[in-house]
Amino acid sequence: MLSNRESARRSRMRKQKHLENLRNQVNRLRIENRELNNRLKFLLYHCHCVKTDNDRLRSEYSILRQKLSDIRQILLFKQLQQYSSAWPCYNVATMSDQIPSLTT
């Protein structure tokens, strides 16, 4: 009879210890979940900032590329004007072939 009581007591102690371990694990997992959630929010915010910055840079690239193209056309036109005023009969089409650095 005494050994039955002792065995039941040990069983209750094991169950109580197991329950305490499970509660501790739940608390640790809640903390870890909170930390991961905060990290995810930070990464999503950072990702949004990077995407916004990329969009801005793409737009700036497009504008600068167009400006460069415009400047090249102006320079080419000015050079063609110089050559055509010096030699009025000179063919303009052959002139652009001689100045490839301004057309590329």
Proportion of the chain above pLDDT 70, given as a percent: 82
As for how many domains the chain has, the answer is 1
Reading phi first (left if > 0) and then psi (alpha if -120 to 50, else beta), residue 87 is in: beta
SS3 90: coil
Mean pLDDT of 68-95: 80
Q: Closest Cα partner for 103 from 64, 75, 82, 81?
A: 75
Burial class (CB in 10 A: 0-12, 13-18, 19+), 15: exposed
Its domain, for residue 45, covers 2-102
Per-residue pLDDT tens digits for 9-37: 999 999 999 999 999 999 999 999 999 99
- The amino acid occupying position 11 is S
> Half-sphere exposure of 102 toward its Cβ, with a 13 Å CA cutoff?
16
